[in-house]
């Protein structure tokens, strides 16, 4: 289980506020798509979840425990670029997680132990369709294969949370479609909580069970840096059968169930008003994010 709760989260760099006033309760197993215009802090939020960076204010907890101060194997990650180790073959890249765990001193397994580890990951390699390329280096793989490798690599340590930063941004449409199938399959099988940053709304809505739309709700034309983005829309896609099947219930969520239900049927409509700054909308979004 891995319920993620975010309370009153702020992130600033000096005077520049990037994220402000974020409150979220994400039930275990949720597939969240983080969408929004570029520069709106989606990736910063992901980096905070990863603990690559620390929040300026506020807390993030996983199953009630505060997030550790640095990346840990309980949170796997897939980046858009530089996501796999160029000097290791496909097989070596994937088995690396096991080697780190089992050989603290050298980070390297030998002989029978190495063979056993390789057998363990053989299935993962098969599942991402890289068996024929087991001994190739990333430089010899296509972009889609590299991302499959990166995902397989991240899954070896069985993370409870998988973070993906525009994982398919650099792929062609055909490859993307294959990747969607793969990612959903893996998510269903592993039942991880997933946070995926994407700039592609359609991708977000088709893959995820919840869409978190980041945007600024306050603007100061004199000082554009004074206000940061927040989660303007938090849209659980309850019409997806999978959501009921995979995602656990959040006991604390019960009170807002109705309100969330109101979005059902017209999730797109909300997003057309992405840049909307009317008083009414702003108030509404605050209510919505402050669950």
Partner 1 sequence: MGLRIINRRPGRGGALFWGALPFLAVLALYLTFSAMRLAENPNDKLLPALSTIAETVVRLAFTPDQRTGQVLLWVDTAASLARLAWGLAVSAALGLVIGIASGLVPYLRAGLSPFVAVVSLIPPMALLPILFISFGLDELSKVVLIVIGIAPFLIRDLAMRVEAIPPELVIKAQTLGASTWQIITRLVLPTMLPKLIDALRLSLGPAWLFLISAEAIAAQDGLGYRIFLVRRYLAMDVILPYVAWITLMAFLMDWGLRALNRRTSPWLTRGMA
What is the spatial distance between Cα 145 and Cα 137, in angstroms, rounded to a whole number?
A: 11
> How many positions of this chain bind partner 1 (CB under 8 A)?
40
**What three-state secondary structure class fits 159?**
coil
Query: Minimal distance in Å, beta carbon 229 to partner 1?
Result: 23
Query: Minimal distance in Å, beta carbon 21 to partner 1?
Result: 26
Question: Could you say which of 77, 151, 152, 211 contacts partner 1 (CB under 8 A)?
Answer: 77
- Phi first, then psi: what are they for 275, rounded to 5°? -90, 5
Residues in the chain: 291
Q: Cα dist. 158→5, 32, 98, 194, 277 in Å?
A: 21, 18, 10, 13, 42
Residue 193 token pair: 């909580």
Query: Minimal distance in Å, beta carbon 285 to partner 1?
Result: 31
> Among residues 82 and 272, whose Cβ is nearest to partner 1?
82
Residue 83 touching partner 1 (CB under 8 A): yes
Query: Minimal distance in Å, beta carbon 116 to partner 1?
Result: 18
What is the spatial distance between Cα 71 and Cα 138, in angstroms, rounded to a whole number?
A: 24
Q: Which stretch binds partner 1 (CB under 8 A): 14-22, 33-41, 156-164, 242-250?
A: 156-164
Residue 154 touching partner 1 (CB under 8 A): yes
Residue 99 touching partner 1 (CB under 8 A): yes
What is the spatial distance between Cα 93 and Cα 103, in angstroms, rounded to a whole number?
A: 15
Residue 136 touching partner 1 (CB under 8 A): yes
Question: Could you say which of 55, 97, 236, 267 contacts partner 1 (CB under 8 A)?
Answer: 97
Question: Could you say which of 38, 66, 69, 105 contacts partner 1 (CB under 8 A)?
Answer: 105
Residue 202 touching partner 1 (CB under 8 A): no
- Of the candidates 167, 165, 158, which has an alpha carbon nearest to the alpha carbon of residue 190? 158
- Of the candidates 50, 102, 101, which has an alpha carbon nearest to the alpha carbon of residue 75? 50
> Among residues 152 and 235, whose Cβ is nearest to partner 1?
152
- Of the candidates 76, 47, 77, 78, which has an alpha carbon nearest to the alpha carbon of residue 146? 78
What is the spatial distance between Cα 238 and Cα 173, in angstroms, rounded to a whole number?
A: 27
> Among residues 105 and 254, whose Cβ is nearest to partner 1?
105
> Among residues 157 and 218, whose Cβ is nearest to partner 1?
157
Q: What are the residues binding partner 1 (CB under 8 A)?
A: 50, 52, 70-73, 75-77, 79, 81-88, 96-97, 99-101, 104-108, 136-141, 150, 153-154, 156-157, 159
């Amino acid at each position: 289980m891995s319920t993620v709760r975010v309370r009153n989260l702020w992130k600033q760099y000096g005077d520049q506020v990037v994220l402000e006033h974020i409150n979220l309760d994400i039930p275990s197993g949720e597939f969240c798509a983080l969408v929004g215009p570029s520069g709106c802090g989606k990736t910063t939020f992901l980096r905070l979840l990863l603990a690559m960076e620390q929040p300026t204010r506020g807390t993030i907890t996983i199953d009630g425990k505060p997030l550790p101060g640095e990346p840990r194997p309980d949170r796997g990650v897939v980046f858009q670029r530089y996501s796999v180790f160029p000097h290791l073959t496909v097989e070596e890249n994937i088995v690396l997680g096991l080697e780190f765990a089992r050989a603290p001193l050298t980070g390297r397994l030998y002989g029978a132990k190495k063979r056993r580890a390789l057998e363990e990951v053989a299935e993962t390699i098969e599942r991402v369709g890289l068996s024929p390329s087991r001994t190739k280096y990333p430089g010899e793989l296509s972009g889609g294969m590299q991302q499959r490798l990166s995902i397989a690599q991240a899954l070896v340590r069985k993370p409870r949370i998988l973070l993906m930063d525009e994982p398919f941004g650099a792929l062609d449409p055909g490859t993307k479609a294959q990747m969607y199938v793969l990612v959903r399959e893996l998510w269903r099988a592993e039942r991880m909580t997933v946070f995926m940053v994407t700039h592609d709304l359609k991708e977000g809505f088709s893959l995820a069970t919840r869409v978190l739309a980041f945007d600024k709700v306050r603007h100061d034309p004199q000082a554009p840096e004074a206000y940061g983005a927040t989660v303007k829309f938090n849209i659980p896609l309850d019409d997806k059968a999978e959501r009921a099947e995979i995602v656990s219930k959040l006991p604390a969520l019960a009170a807002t169930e109705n309100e969330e239900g109101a979005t059902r049927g017209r999730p797109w409509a909300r997003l057309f008003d992405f840049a909307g700054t009317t008083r009414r909308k702003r108030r509404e979004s605050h209510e919505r994010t402050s669950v």
